[in-house]
Structure 1
Amino acid sequence: MGLVQHVEPLAQVVFAHWAVAIVATVSFYASFRCFYNLYFHPAAKYPGPRLAAISNIWITGKYPSVIAKAHEKYGDVVRISPNELVFITPKAASDIFASQVKGLEYFLKADFISLGWPDQGITWETDPVKHHQKAKWLLPSFSAKSLREKEDVMHKYIDIFVQNMMELGNGKEGIELRKWADWLAMDIAADLGYSREMRQLEEKRPSPYLESIWAANFFVTMHTTAKKFPLLGWLQYFSVPPSAIVNYVAALGANKKAFYKRIDALGQTQHPDHFGHLLDPESPLPAKRYLQSLEAICLHLLPAGYEPISSSFFGIIAFSLQDRGNHGRLVKEIRDVFISYEDIAVDTVTRLDFLHATVMEQLRVAVVGATGQPRVSPGATVDGLYIAKGVEVQYANYAFTRNSRYFHEPYSYRPQRWLRQGHPFWDPVYAKDAREDFHPWGQGIRACPGMILSLQEIKLIVAMVLWALDVKMLPGQHVDFDRDFELYGMLEKPDLWVRFNKVAR
C-alpha cells in the first residue's frame, strides 16, 4: 500500500515532465519555424503582410479581391503564405504557365485540389507526362472538323431554349435567367461530351446531376482551403452540411453510371461526341487503369464544358442590359448581318466584331481562374526574379483585369476595348489596353483544349437568342460581378429576372 502511494505521485511527476517537454519542444519548433520563415526562407525577401510569412490566416473575404488589394499595396510580387508568391505581370504569367522543357511544363501544377483518387483526370493531374498524354487524347475532340460535326447538337438545344422563352419568357414576372442558362449549357455539354441527354430544357427543371454538383460546390472549395492547413484538414467535413458531401458522392456515382452507359453505346450514338475520340468501337475495351483515366476525364469534361458557357451567356445578358448603348449595338449587329435565323452558324458568327468584343469583355469582367492556379518553382526566373526550387507561385488573373496599368477603366464594362482600330465604335482611350496579355482559357501546355469550341458556342447562343428575341431586365435589379458572384469551385451566379419577347418582323 505504501509503495503504491509513492508510485502514483512519481507517475504524475513523470507525466508532468513529459507534458512540459512536449509543449516546450512544440513551442520551440513553432518559434524556430516562424523565425526561419520571417528571415531566412527563400520567399522572405519579398513584400507582403507580415502575418503571411508564418500563416495563411490573414486572407479573409473574397480571395481574388484580397489578392488584388495586396498587389495595390505591395507591388507586382506579393508573399501570401510562408511558401507562396503571387505575381500580377503578364511576363510572370508567361514564365509560369508557358515555360516548357522537352514539350512538358516546367513549373509543375501544385497539388491544391487533389481528392486522392487513383486517377486525377486532366484538370487535377499534377504529373506532366500523364497530363500531356491525356491532353493528346482530347485534342481531336476539339478540332475545327469536330466542331462542325457537332454543331447540330448546339442548334438543337438553343432552338429549344428560344422556343421556351417565346412561350414562357414574356409573362409579367419573366423568367429567372440563372437557372435557364444552367439548363441550356448543361444540356449542350452533356450531349456534346458523351451523348448524355439531361432533358432539363424540355422538362423545365434541373437534373439530379446538376443539383448534385452545385450542392457539392462549396465542399470542393473547403477541401482546397483545408490543404493549406493540414492539421485542421478534418474540419472541412464539419464546415459544410452533410448534404453537400452526400451530393458530391451522388455526383460521382451519376458520372460513373453515365460513363459506363456511354461505353455500352460505342459506335451506336446518334451523333459524334467528345467521348467518341477516346475509344475505338472496333477495338476491345482497354485495361481497367485506362478506363479509370477516361472516367476521371469525363468527370472534368462536363463541368468544364458547362459552367463557363452558362456564366458567359448569363453575364453577357446581365452586363449588356445595364449598358443600353452597347446592348443596342450588339443586337443591331446580329440582326443586320443575318437575314434569317437559319443563317446563324459557328462559321458565320466569326464575322461579328461587336459580338466578339462583347464576349471578351464579359470574360474579362467575370474572370475565371481567379484562384491563381498555383505552380511549383523548379528553381527558375519569374519576371526577372529568381524563385527558389519548391516555392509555390501563382498568377493574379483577377487583379490583372482590375489594374489600371493594363486596362483603362478596369471596373467598367466596355466591349469597345476589344474592337480593332477603324471599327465605327472603336475608342482610342482603350488603345493601350493589354488585350494580347489576357488569356481567359489559360496559356501554355495546360491551356483549355476546348477554348475554340467554347468561344464559338458562346457566340452562337448569344447570336441566335438575340436575333429571335428581345430581352429586358425587370426593374429594381443591378448585377455587379465583384459583389454578387461567389467564387467557389465553380462560379455561383446571382438570380436575375428578365423578360423575353419574340421579335416582330
Structure 2
Amino acid sequence: MPGRDPLITQGTHENATLLVGAVAISIAIYIAAIAIYRLWFHPLAKAPGPKHMAIWDVPGQWSSFIKMDMVKQAPLLHRKYGPIVRIGPDRLSMDGSVCWPEVYGIRSTSDQNEFSKIRGFTFTNDHLALIGANREDHRRQRRQVNHAFSSSALHEQEAIIVQYVDKFMDKITERAKRGEPVNIVDWLNFTTFDIIGDLAFADSFHSLDGNTAFVKNIFRGVTGGAYRRFLIQFPLFKLPLMLLLGAKELAVATEAGEENFRVGRLKGQARMAMGAEPKDGRRDFATYMLRKGKDGEPVLSEGEVQGLSSALVVAGSETTATALSGFTFLITTHAEKRRALEDEIRAAFADEADITMTGTGHLEYLNAVIEETLRLYPPAATLPPRTSPGAEVHGLWVPRGTIIHTYQSATNRNPDSFTDPDAFEPERWLRPSHPRYNSRFAGDKREVMKPFSNGPRDCVGKNLAYTEMRVIISRLLYRFDIELLPGHERWMDNQKASFVWIKGPLEVKLKPRAGVTLD
C-alpha cells in the first residue's frame, strides 16, 4: 500500500491547526463581546459592583451556595459600592433601606407590578406554601393561617409551649448537676422543633427524648438545598462538584432536603386524618388550616396543607433556635450586658413558675437584647430572592427578570444606619427614659432592621418566635449563671450561611445562680 504524501499530511495538520486557532479566537471574541456588553451596554451597567461579578454569574452564586460566605461578603460590598450592588450580570443586592419599601412593600394591586418569588427556589413545590406561592394564592393562604399565629391563639397554646420548655430545662439541669458541658445549640434545636411539631401536627418530633434524627438531618438538608440551587443554574458543574465534595456527600446532602419535606408531608397527612379538631379538643395550626370557607368548601387544598406544614416546621423552629443560640453567644461574651439582663429578669419574678408569655413581654432590656441579637445574627441570613417586573428602584431602572437579593447582614451592619454597627449594644433599642439608654444611638435608623422580612409576605410566625425567645431566655437566666467554655470565642465568626446559619457546637457551663437549688 503506497504511503501518504508528506505534503498532504502536512497540509492536513496545518488546516487542523488553523481551524483550532480560528475556533479559539472566535470563542475569545465572543467572551470579550459578552464582557464588553455586560460592563458598558447592559441595562444594569450603571449599577456599581465588582467587575468580575457583572461579567459572569458563577462567582457570586458559588459564594452564595457552595462556599456559603456571601452573607459575610455582602456588608463589605455595600460599604464599598452603596445601597445597590451588582453581583451578577442580571442580579442585584439591595440594602434594606432601599428594598424594604420599594421591593418588599405593597406596590399596587396588580400581579404584573409585584417583585415576585422564584417558583421552586426554596424547595420543590414551594408554590404550595406561603414561602413560594404566587400573589393570589399567598393572600388566600395567609388569611387562613394568620389566625393560628394571633395573640389569642398563642395564649391558647401557651401550655403546649411551656411543657417543652419545662422538659428542656429538666434536661439541661441534669447535665448541670453532673457538671457536664452543654452544647446549647443542640438542645435549643430539640426544644423548638418539638414545640413546632406539636403545634403543627399535634405530635412532637420527640427530639428532647432522644429521637434527634430529623433535627440532625435538617442541617444536612440546608447544605444540600444550597448545592441544589447552584446546580439548577449551572448543571455542567455537577462533575466538578462531585470531585470537590465527593460524589456520596453531594448525593446525600442533596437528598436530605427533599427527605425533610417528605417527613413533613407525611406528618401533615397524619394530622389531617384527625380532622380539624384533634381528639383532645385543643386547637393547633392544622385546626385553622383545615377550616372551611363560607361556602362549606376547604379553603386550602390537601397539597397546600401538607406544603404549609412542612414549611412551617423548618421556618418556625430552626430560626428561633438560631436566634437563641446567637443570644447565648453574645450574652456570654459581654459580661456587663449579661449582668444587666440577669438583674432585670431576676427582679421581675418571685419564682421561675411566674415566668409567662405576658410577664416577659414587659421586660424592656430583654426585648432590647433580643432585637440586638437579631440585628447582629439574623436567623434568616438571606431571604429568598425576588424577580423584578421591570421597575425603577432608588433611581435605577431594574429590567424585567432581574433577580434581587437581600442580605440582612448588609442592612443590619450598615454604618449609615447604625452607630458602631458591629458592636453588641442592646441600649440602642431602649426608650430615652430607660436608665440604660445611651444618646449615642439616638441617630440609629432602627426601622431598617426587619429580621422577619417586610410587607405582605413577612414571616407569619414572628409573634411565636418572640414569645418562645422571651420565655426560654428568662427561664435560663433565672435559674442559671451561664459561662462560655474555652474554644468557642469565635463561634459566630466561623460560620457559613445559606438562608440560615450552618452552626457548630456552642458549649457552655451552667451553674445554678445564688439562692437556686437544683432538686
User: TM-score, normalization: structure 2?
Assistant: 0.86
| SS of corresponding position for 1:381 | strand
Residue 365 of structure 1 aligns with which residue? 376
Offset at residue 20 of structure 1 (A): 9.2
Aligned to 1:322: 333
Cα distance per residue 1:119-171 (max 9 Å; x no partner): 4422133x222222222221111111111111111110111111222222243
1:218/1:489 contact within 8 Å kept = no
**For 2:172 and 2:498, how far apart are their aligned partners in 1?**
29
Matched position secondary structure for 1:79: strand
C-alpha offsets along residues 68-120 of structure 1, whole Å, 9 cap, x if unaligned? Answer: 22222222221110011222251333101103311767211235725543844
1:153–1:188 Cα contact (<8 Å) kept: yes
8 A contact 2:95–2:407 mirrored in 1: yes
Counterparts of 1:74 and 1:31, CA distance in 2: 25
After superposition, where does 1:124-143 map in structure 2 within 5 Å? 124-125=132-133, 127-143=134-150
Instruction: Provide the C-alpha distance between the structure 1 equivalents of 2:219 and 2:155, rounded to a whole number of angstroms.
Output: 31
* Partners of 1:115 and 1:469 in 2: CA distance: 40
Aligned in 2, Cα 1:107/1:469: closer, same or farther, shift over 3 Å?
same
**CA pair 114-354 structure 1, distance change in 2 beyond 3 A:** closer
Residue-by-residue CA offset, 1:258-314 (whole Å, 9 max, x unaligned): 111111222224332111111139999969x92112211111100111111111211
SS in 2 for 1:122: coil
Q: Is the 8 A contact 1:307 1:491 kept in 2?
A: no
> For this pair of structures, how many residues does the alignment match?
495
On the 8 A contact 2:381/2:500 being kept in 1, the answer is no
* Pair 1:255 & 2:256 matched: no
Matched, 1:501 2:518: no
Q: Partner residue of 1:219? A: 224
* 1:122 matched to 2:130: yes
The one-letter code sitting in structure 1 at the alignment partner of 2:196 is A
Helix, strand or coil: the match of 2:87? strand
Structure 1 residue 268 and structure 2 residue 269: aligned? no
Aligned residue in 2 for 1:5:
none
The corresponding residue for 2:5 is none
User: Relative to 1, partners in 2 of residues 1:122 and 1:236: Cα closer, same or farther, differing over 3 Å?
Assistant: farther
Describe how 1:86-165 pairs up with structure 2 within 5 A.
Answer: 86-88=93-95, 90-102=97-109, 106-111=114-119, 113-117=121-125, 119-125=127-133, 127-165=134-172
Q: Is the 8 A contact 1:87 1:93 kept in 2?
A: no
**Secondary structure of 1:335's aligned partner:** helix
Kindly indicate whether residue 209 of structure 2 is the aligned counterpart of residue 198 of structure 1. no
Quote the Cα distance in structure 1 between the aligned partners of 2:316 and 2:157: 14
Checking the alignment, whether the CA contact within 8 Å between 1:96 and 1:394 is kept in structure 2 is no
1:188-241 Cα distance to aligned partner (Å, 9 max, x none): 11111221222222x2x3422212222222110112233443554676677443
Decide which of 251, 258, 275 is 1:242's aligned counterpart: 251
Say whether residues 1:41 and 2:52 are aligned partners: no
Q: Is the 8 A contact 2:319 2:380 kept in 1?
A: no
Query: Could you tell me which residue of structure 2 aligns to residue 55 of structure 1?
Result: 56
Give identity over the alignment, percent.
23
Distance 2:394 2:470 in 1: 35
Q: Which stretch shows the higher mean deviation, 248-257 or 409-418?
A: 248-257
| CA distance in structure 1 between the aligned counterparts of 2:49 and 2:342, rounded to whole angstroms | 46
Which runs of 5 or more structure 1 residues have no equivalent in the other structure? 3-8
Residues 116/16 of structure 1: CA separation in 2 closer, same or farther (3 Å cut)? farther
CA–CA distance in 1 between the matches of 2:380 and 2:220? 20
TM-score by length of 1: 0.88
Partners of 1:123 and 1:300 within 8 A in 2: yes
Partner of 2:311: 300
Q: 1:55 to 1:490 in 2, by over 3 A?
A: same
Distance 1:183 1:116 in 2: 25
Deviation at 1:489, TM superposition (A): 4.3
What corresponds to 2:367 in structure 1?
356
Indicate conservation of the 8 Å contact 2:119/2:126, yes or no.
no
Mapped to 2, the partners of 1:253 and 1:89 lie a distance apart of 34
Q: Which amino acid is 2:214 matched to? A: Y
- Per-residue displacement from partner, 1:450-494 (whole Å, max 9, x unpaired)? 11121111111111222223322234531452x132213432222
- 1:494 is paired with a residue of what secondary structure? coil
**1:226/1:236 contact within 8 Å kept:** no
The equivalent of 1:399 in structure 2 is 410
Greater Cα offset, 152-161 or 378-387: 378-387
Is 442-451 or 216-225 further displaced after alignment?
216-225
Q: Could you tell me whether the CA contact under 8 Å between 2:94 and 2:405 is conserved in 1?
A: yes
Q: Which amino acid aligns with 1:76?
A: P
Look up the match of 1:208: 213
Letter in 1 for 2:43: P
* The one of 336, 339, 349 aligned to 1:338: 349
Whole-angstrom distance in 1 between the partners of 2:131 and 2:229? 14
Report the more deviating stretch, 88-97 or 271-280: 88-97
DSSP 3-state at the match of 1:449: coil
CA distance in 1, matches of 2:411, 2:499: 21
Query: Match of 1:470, SS?
Result: strand
Asked if structure 1 preserves the Cα contact closer than 8 Å seen for 2:196 and 2:204, the reply is: no
SS in 1 for 2:301: helix
SS in 2 for 1:462: helix
Q: Does structure 2 retain, via aligned residues, the 8 Å contact 1:187–1:199?
A: yes
SS of residue paired to 2:382: coil
Contact 1:216 1:245 survives alignment (8 Å): yes
Q: Is the 8 A contact 1:87 1:395 kept in 2?
A: yes
User: Does structure 2 conserve the Cα–Cα contact (< 8 Å) formed by 1:63 and 1:371?
Assistant: no
Once the two structures are overlaid, the 10-residue window that deviates more, 273-282 or 458-467, is 273-282
